[in-house]
Amino acid sequence: MSTRNHNTALGLMFSLGFCAFLGGCNVDRVAERDRTPKGADLAAASGPRAPASTAGLSVVERGEVDLVENVLATRAAYHEGLERLRDYYRDHGYITKQSWADFELEGARKVKAFRYLLDSEIPSDRLRPTDSISEADVLYEMGCEMMRKGGHGVPLFYKEKTMIQAADTFRQLIEQYPSSDKIDDAAFMLGEIHKEYLPDQEPLAVKWYERAWTWDPHTPHPARFQAAVVYDFRLHDRDRALELYQSVLKEEASRGSNVRFSTRRIEELIRDGGAVTAQVTTVDKVP
C-alpha cells in the first residue's frame, strides 16, 4: 500500500471512529449514571420535533436560560461549520476530505440531545421576518384566539391549559415558518404568556421579548418596555432594566404612557443607584 493510500485509510478509520463515538453517546445511558432529580421534566430528542407542553417546566434561575441558550448556539454553530467545511471540500474536488466531513456530520446528527428547557428553548437570534406566509398567519390568529379564550388580560381568571396551548401554537409557527413576518409577533405573545400566565417563567419571558425586537427591530409591540418591567420588578436586574427603559424612549416613543413611565423610572434608578422600592402600577396592555 502506498504512503498516500495508507494515510487515506488511516484518515477514514479516524473519521469512522469519531463518528461511532458521537453516535454512541446515548442519553439513556447518561441518564442512568446521572439521575435526574425527581420532578424535573427532561426529554431526549434529535432532529425535528413537535412542540411539547410547558406544564411542569422548572427553570432554576435566569442563569440556566443563558447557559442553555449558549449550548444551543454552540450546537448550531458546530453543525453549520461542518456543513460549510463539507461544501468547501466538495466545491474544490477534495473527495476524500469531503467524505470525512460527511461522516462527522452524520455522526453529529445522530447524537441525542437533552432539551433542557423543553419547548421553551429559544430559537436563534439570526431569524428574520421577511416573508408573508398564509399558513403562518393562520397559526398566529389561532394562537391569539386561544389567548382570548384563555382569559388574556384578566390574569386572576385565566385558564393555564389554554394559555399553554396558545404558546405551543406560537412556537409551532416559529419552528415551521422561521422566515414568516409573524415570528416577531409570535415571540412577543410568548413573552406575554410566560410573563403573566405561567408560574416562575420570567427568565424565559424576557428572552422571548428580546427575540421579538432582535428579529424585527421595528416590531410594533412594546417588547422592550415589557422586558424592562420584568427585569426591573421581577428579576431585580436594575442595570438591564435601566438600559431597556432608555431604549424605550428611542425605539418605542409612540407609546406615550410607556415613555412617561420609563422616563420616571430612569430618574428613580439613576437617583437611587438601583435600590428602588417603587412598584409598577400601570403598563400598556397588548393591542
Residues 6+ apart with CB under 8 A from 253: 259
Return the sign of the alpha-carbon dihedral for residues 41, 154, 165, 174: negative
Give me the phi and psi of 113, to 5 degrees please.
-120, 140
Copy the grid coordinates of residue 216.
424585527
Residues (pLDDT < 50) of the chain are: 2-57, 60, 118-120, 274-287
pLDDT of residue 112: 54
pLDDT of residue 52: 39
pLDDT of residue 111: 66
Angle subtended at Cα 226 by Cα 281 and Cα 56, rounded to the nearest 5 degrees: 100
Q: Is the CATH number 1.10.287.70 carried by domain 134-272?
A: no
Taking the model in full, what pTM does it have?
0.60
pLDDT of residue 53: 41
pLDDT of residue 268: 96
- Contacts for 46-51: CB closer than 8 Å, 24+ residues apart: 46/109, 46/110, 46/111, 46/112, 46/113, 47/109, 49/115, 51/119, 51/168, 51/171, 51/172, 51/175
pLDDT of residue 133: 97
Copy the grid coordinates of residue 198.
405561567
- Specify whether the CB–CB gap between 57 and 118 falls below 8 A: yes
Angle subtended at Cα 72 by Cα 138 and Cα 107, rounded to the nearest 5 degrees: 105
Delimit the domains of the chain by residue range.
3-120, 134-272
pLDDT of residue 122: 81
- Residue 24's SS3 state is coil
CA distance 188 to 119: 16
